[in-house]
Amino acid sequence: MEITFLGTGSGVPSKNRNVSSLALKMLQERDEVWLFDCGEATQHQIMNTTIKPRKITKIFITHMHGDHVLGLPGFLSSRSFQSGESTVELYGPTGLKEFVETTLKTTGTHLNYPLVYKPIKEGIIYQDQDIKVSAKKLKHGIPSYAYKIEEEDKIGPLLPDRLKELGVSPGPIYETIKNQSTTVLPNGTEVHRENVTGSDIPGKRIAICGDTKPVDSLAQWVNGVDVLIHEATFIEADDQLAKDYSHSTAADAARLAKQAQVRYLLLNHISSRYQQNILEEEKTRLQSIFSPLQFVDDFTEFTVK
C-alpha cells in the first residue's frame, strides 16, 4: 500500500499546497486506487503523478465542505475521456449524491461509466475477503467522518523444512498447500496448512481523519493503526483558533497518536499561514509528545510497511 498526498492545505489553495485529497494506491494488492476527498484541482494534481484515473474505483468523502469536494465533478467528467469505464463508488455524508448529480446535470455532463452512491454512517461501510473500511463520526459543525482501512491478515510463509520432513518436494504443490487448509498428497498423507506455515502476516491498518475538533473516543477507534493521517490546521500556539473553527492543532493529533499507540503519524490539512520554518520548529516540539511523525506536503509519498 502506498499513499500519495494530492492536496495538503486547508480552506483555500496556496502556491505550495492544494486543497484536500489523497490517494491510497493498492496496485499490487488489487490493481486499484482509492481517493479520499477531492478538493478543487485534484485532477490537475493527479496529472503530476503516475496515477491513472481509470484505476480509481472508490472515492471516500470525509465531509461536504468545498475544499474537500469541489474537484469531484471535474474529475468524474475527465475520467470519461481517460479510458475510465469501470464503476466508481462514491462514499460520503448526506448531500453528496445531490451535489454530484446536480452539478453533472446543470453542466450537461454525461459519464460513460456508472456511479454508485454509498451513503455512510458509523460502522463498517465496505468489506470483502481482503479488506474492510469503517467510518466514525467526528466533530466539525457539519457531518464529518474518519475512515479506517483494515487489511485481513495474510497466511504466513511456507516452511520448506517442515514440508521436506513430510516428503513434499518444491513445485506447484506448494501453492496448493498454501491455498487450502488441508491437502491430501498422492501417497495419502494429509498436510495441514497450519503445521507447515509460519505466523500470519498482520494486515495493514490506516486511519484517515476528516476535519475535526479533538474527539475523546477516537483514540480507541484508531488504536494501534500502522498509519494515522490527521488534520493539523493550526499549531499549538493557535489553540484558540482551532477551537473557534472546529479544527485540531498538530499537538492535538500528536497526543491522540500517543494515546492510541499508532505506529506513524502524518499531519495533513495545514493552514497556509505557516511557513516551512515554523512547521519544522513545531515538529521538533511535537516529537517530545510522539514520534515518528511528519508534516506532509503535496506529492509526499508514503509506503505503509
Q: Name the residue ranges covered by the structural domains of the chain.
A: 2-154+201-303, 160-196
Element (H, E) at 68: helix 66-69
| 68 known ligand binder | yes
Q: Tens digits of per-residue pLDDT, 257-302?
A: 999 999 999 999 999 999 999 999 999 999 999 999 999 999 999 9
How far, in Å, are 117, 236, 298 from residue 7 at the CA level?
24, 22, 5
| 140 known ligand binder | yes
- Identify the active-site residue in 31, 37, 67, 200: 67
State the pLDDT confidence band at 185, using cuts at 50, 70 and 90: confident
Cα(178)–Cα(192) distance, integer angstroms: 10
State the pLDDT confidence band at 218, using cuts at 50, 70 and 90: very high
Asked if residues 264 and 292 have their Cβ atoms less than 8 Å apart, the reply is yes
Task: Answer yes or no: 67 catalytic.
Answer: yes
| 110 known ligand binder | no
**Which CATH fold would you assign to the domain 2-154+201-303?**
Metallo-beta-lactamase; Chain A (3.60.15)
pTM: 0.93
| pLDDT for res 83 | 74
Q: With a cut of 90, say whether residue 197 has pLDDT above it.
A: yes
| pLDDT for res 186 | 85
Start-to-end CA distance of the chain, whole Å, equals 8
State the pLDDT confidence band at 81, using cuts at 50, 70 and 90: confident
How far, in Å, are 10, 204, 304 from residue 201 at the CA level?
37, 9, 14
